[in-house]
Amino acid sequence: MLALASNGYRCIAHDRRGHGRSSQPWNGNDMNTYADDLATLMDTLDLTHAVLIGFSAGGGEVARYIGRHGTKRLAKAALVSAVPPLMLKTAANPGGLPIEVFNKIRLGCITDRSQLYQDLASGPFFGANRAGAKVSQGMMDSFWLQGMQAGHKNTFDCIKAFSETDFTEDLKKFDVPTLVLHGDDDQIVPIGAAALRSSKLVKNAILKIYAGAPHGLAETHRNQINADLLAFLQT
């Protein structure tokens, strides 16, 4: 956001319910409600010609927002390391991840979520488990802190929301220029069942693949992603 705002763009970040500085309601931790929360923000601020940029589960929020509320307030959209169209392996989505993967995350969340966030940060999220990776302690600590600030019930429910929600029909409703960015070494949201499929479902999507990049490329490849997003906004 700092890079885009420094180039003259008005940048607004909302904290998903239960996360960041949001309140932590018990209910509504699902993609439909996330999208409706975003719509409330957009309507309240009366935003027009906006560009929605969604990272990871946030990409699901962008997709479901467009699916439920359309693009009348939008100029463009961007999906970054995003979960659509569907993370879960099903008969119709054989390239997805088996339910056991998400059950393991749920177990970690219930058993010792602080350690879970440390393990994710020091392992697959930033690619710190790859040979030659340069992931700072500060980067890992920031990830842990953001996780621990969120509500326990909210983050637990969010696992189901980001993994089991099918965004296929939402993606088909995109009718604005859309940029899809993804690392080909994403160990959290593998590119095969995500960006490669999304870019085919979204009409005229622009797909950019970051060679060797992990899921958390907004940190590990910040200069590249800032340049790509800025170029996208300026076209």
Q: Catalytic positions, please?
A: 56, 186, 215
Task: Go through the chain and tell me how many residues it has.
Answer: 235
Count Cα atoms within 13 angstroms, Cβ side, for 229.
Answer: 28
Cα–Cα nearest to 213, from 224, 199, 227: 224
- CB 193 within 8 Å of CB 87: yes
> Can you give the three-state secondary structure of 78-117, one letter per residue?
EEECCCCCCCECCCCCCCCECHHHHHHHHHHHHHHHHHHH
Alpha carbon of 52 to those of 8, 20, 61, 178: distances in Å? Answer: 16, 19, 10, 9
